[in-house]
Structure 1
Amino acid sequence: MTFLLAGLSVRALAQSAARAGHPVVAVDYFGDSDLADRVACRSLLRQGRPAYDAKDLPGLAAGLAYDTLAYVSNLENHPRVVRDLAGGRPIAGNTPETLRQARHWPTLRRVCAEEGLAMPPTLFPGEEATARKQVEWLRKPVKSGGGHGIDFWDGRPLARGWYLQTWVPGVSASAVFAANGRESLVLGVSEQVVGDRKLGAHGFRHCGNIMPLAPELGGGEALTRALADMAARLTRRFGLRGVCGLDCIIAAGPNGRPRPVLLEINPRPTASAELIEERGLGSVFDTHVRAAAGALPAPADWPENGGYLAKGIAFARRPCRLPEDTGWRRPELRDVGRPGDAIAPGRPICSIVLPGATRRAALEGLYAAARGLERDLASKEEAS
């Protein structure tokens, strides 16, 4: 059985599929070298499209031979694109109908209220007058992804395609779980690295994860149980399938103990899932396919004294170009473009995956690797 992998960037899922022996073809935006090295792929960028539009992916996939569709970010926001890519074939993951429900914010608000799940007060166009003035509100795009477009609300009326959520102080976190439509199993919990200027990011831009969530940030068995309950309730209500994610804020609950406050469901494999596989806890793609078909994996805990794993995105601070030679590439660099690629300021250069004995060591390792990457690219550019 051949799978089509589709989304903004499919390198991590393609690598996982290859490790598990699943034949795949791929369509995404970047067409990075470490994707092209592993599978047959087509890329919007390599076909001259300067900007990503998910609606272009079905045309890109035309003529490819595949039996089943699997997808990643940001296709959860485009159920019609998922339908067109599937073209009547099976989908390893959530159906377009499930996406329409799980990513419909008024429905999610109602379900959380009915299930007793914590979610920030959330308002939609026409409800702005009910916004409490004593708290800060974030203006967010309905078709969210990676923190793009999020900013503090200035009080103006909301346009269609936007909503408000109260800003909740706490730790940004992600949970990865497998679901079979009825039951679920949390696979890992991580801290989200957001807007870190040392990685070239700003604002609310997602720029990495550190797994597991450190105890000093609220991580531990009690939080994992709370996230497991949240994932189980949402799985039952929406019929979620495959490897999915929850984005949340770890905030102080009424009893003062840390609790998860749900921000959104990501009903597809997430970027942080790669850290689970990197630790040796099984193929994420294989888990995704089996869970979507109804079989959950056996529980597997993060190894005691296993340290931490960090995955960061290094963003360009100035215009740069990837060298023609490959001598600058190191094993920890992922999602690496092709020789000669020009990268504008604010765009991702690549991902970095590194271990650390402590959370701080893992984070400092990302910073050091990002600085080293900048130096390498600058020196190569000067030499040319």
Structure 2
Amino acid sequence: MTILALETSCDETGAAIIVNGQIKSNILASQAKTHLKYGGVVPEVAAREHVLSIIPTINLALKKAKTKLAEIDYIAVTKGPGLMTSLMVGVDTAKTLGLTLNKPVLPINHLEAHIYANVAFDKLRQHKSLIPERSRRVKFPAIILIVSGGHTMLVLMRGHGQYKIIGETVDDAAGEAFDKTARLLGLPYPGGPHLSKLAKNGNPHAFKFPRPMINSDDLNFSFSGLKTAVLYEVQKLDSRFRGNGQRGKLKANLAASVQQAIVDVLIAKTEQAIKKYQPKTIMLGGGVAANDLLRARYKLLAKSYQLSVSIPPLKYCTDNAAMIGLAAHYKLLTTHYPDAEIVRSRLRPKRRSKLPTKTFVADPNLALA
């Protein structure tokens, strides 16, 4: 089973070839340098860059995988959530290829794909179900913390396609809090990774920032209050930031303190979910899953409750086409995939696409890594 996967939800143009669950190629055309001068992603610019990059990216993915277009069995594409103008490029390309090749096009939810980034391996370890061997060690139910610039949520996963959102942000996402702080500190785009790097040299206890909703009875998140507190602190220290001497240390301390506050909340809420739902596995997904502090503390949390833990390799945390293809692969292994279709006009991108909750009838032996 050979899948061509496309990802254009934001500012990364991705194409990947997945063969029987193995990543044969995963090509990414990044727009980070293009958007650097704007301090963030400009949707119109992103869409134009996708148009320029999508065909060369597909061709490179096919070449690296030593696969011909005629050998493709399915085309998987991100349908949302994301920037509408960016999504349209990927969806329209997939529809065109589907019509030309007479192949089914599989619309994939971007958030669901972040979950399946947990099964991303560069080397295939096959068994009879064509699933990497490691994936059989971890069983459902699982709790997944999805953390990105646009989303922060806890998901209970009882099986393939069986999702229940048990907690989510009521305002801003954790990734947005990282990015906003980075901008306030004058760090370049993309801000999150630069903030985390700066935080390594800082004291995480130097500033006392709030941990919104950390003790609430529900599993929801809030980061708008933290963003406001950071803004006020930066304004108060602005003259010191502009001066010499301790400027660098102050910025590092503030970065470390903000990071600590965000991760404290994420870990606390995940622990609440563990106590309530008694999962066998906890997993991470989304761009913020690349954060070193979060990864380390997530592993410690799993160890303290004697749970299996799965965290995607760093290169599969951020947006990529491989995770789109892997999500499609697992769906196709189920006995029923109602979204698989020869392209029809009703296939449209969705800016606010929700995590699917419909249950798919799956092989009970399948489990995520």
TM-score with structure 2 setting the length: 0.28
More helix by share: 2
Q: Judging by fraction of residues, say which structure has more strand.
A: 1
Using the size of structure 1 for normalisation, the TM-score is: 0.27
